[in-house]
Amino acid sequence: MSVKPYHHIPIQECHEPLVELLPEAIAFVTPHPYQTIGAPYGAQSPFWVRRGVRDRLLRAQHYLQTLQPGWQIQVFDAYRPIAVQQYMVDYTFAQLAQAQGLHPAQVEPAQKQALYEQVFEFWALPSSNPATPPPHSTGAALDVTLVDGNGQAIAMGSPIDEVSARSYPDHFAQATDPIGQAYHHHRTQLNQVMVEAGFMRHPSEWWHFSYGDQMWAWLMAQKYPATSYIACYGAVAPNP
């Protein structure tokens, strides 16, 4: 249930360093939501990315502001150590169990399997195998949304990390009401500026974009089947 379709993509690590996203250039969600609930970042920052990812993010933001002056891309989350990925998988499992009236430590095997199937639809396995790193542990992945010139969040129809069908990028594509149509328009605009800068969007998450990891290579190969793609970013530890 945790095997992802992109895990077969080979990784040829380019050894590009992690760099810090600067608040004067990019908007952040603060306080960081995972740090707030106790995720074990230690001295590591959730706002690190690979250098090439940072450059493309700035390019996407510049393009956004040609379409919507004053708007910004807001980063919800970026780099995750494996320990944070494990923490968030466990946290999400517990939240889903409790929402169904179950005690996380006392669920039956069938219930546990069903819960993990929900978790791993949206969360990557916290694998330490260098051949199958979680996207966020490579410094290649970003969870982002949009804010207006006053820093107010643009309505997207569901919060980041919601484990439901509303998280699918095209969930509101067939909406006939103005609110649903606005949600879809905003999601489409976010995708437009990110793709223009070279990113690809997660098939199940309107907020998740990456460049250079296995998921990116897999999505690019589907979009351009005549071309072969490999990942250039594998799991990475912060620079000493």
Q: Is 72 left (phi over 0), alpha (psi -120 to 50) or beta?
A: beta
Residue 120 is predicted with a pLDDT of 92
Does residue 168 form part of some domain?
yes
At 206, which CATH number? 3.30.1380.10
Residue 238 is predicted with a pLDDT of 81
Residue 3 is predicted with a pLDDT of 77
**Annotated catalytic residue: which of 24, 121, 196, 205?**
205
Residue 16 is predicted with a pLDDT of 97
Six token digits for residue 225: 């089947």
Does residue 75 form part of some domain?
yes
pLDDT tens, 66-82? 999 999 999 999 999 99
Estimate the crossing angle of helix 51-67 against helix 178-196, to 10 degrees. Answer: 130
Does residue 177 form part of some domain?
yes
Total count of domains within the chain: 1
Estimate the crossing angle of helix 109-122 against helix 82-99, to 10 degrees. Answer: 120
Does residue 199 form part of some domain?
yes
Does residue 228 form part of some domain?
no
Six token digits for residue 127: 């694998």
Question: Apex CA 140: angle with CA 206 and CA 124, to 5°?
Answer: 60
Per-residue pLDDT tens listing for the chain (240 residues): 567 899 999 999 999 999 999 988 899 999 999 999 999 999 999 999 999 999 999 999 999 999 999 999 999 999 999 999 999 999 999 999 999 999 988 889 999 999 999 999 999 999 999 999 999 999 999 999 999 999 999 999 999 999 999 999 999 999 999 999 999 999 999 999 999 999 999 999 999 999 999 999 999 999 999 999 999 999 998 865
- Under a CB-based contact definition with an 8 Å cutoff, are residues 124 and 4 in contact? yes
Is 121 assigned a catalytic role? Answer: no
Domain holding 204, by residue range, is 18-82+133-223
Residue 237 is predicted with a pLDDT of 87
Residue 177 is predicted with a pLDDT of 98
Residues 6+ apart with CB under 8 A from 98: 104
Does residue 237 form part of some domain?
no
- Could you give the residue ranges of the DSSP H alpha helices within the chain? 33-36, 51-67, 82-99, 109-122, 178-196, 214-223
Does residue 138 form part of some domain?
yes
Spatial distance between the Cα atoms of 186 and 195, rounded to a whole number of angstroms: 14
Does residue 8 form part of some domain?
no
Residue 233 is predicted with a pLDDT of 98
Residue 61 CB neighbours (<10 A) = 20
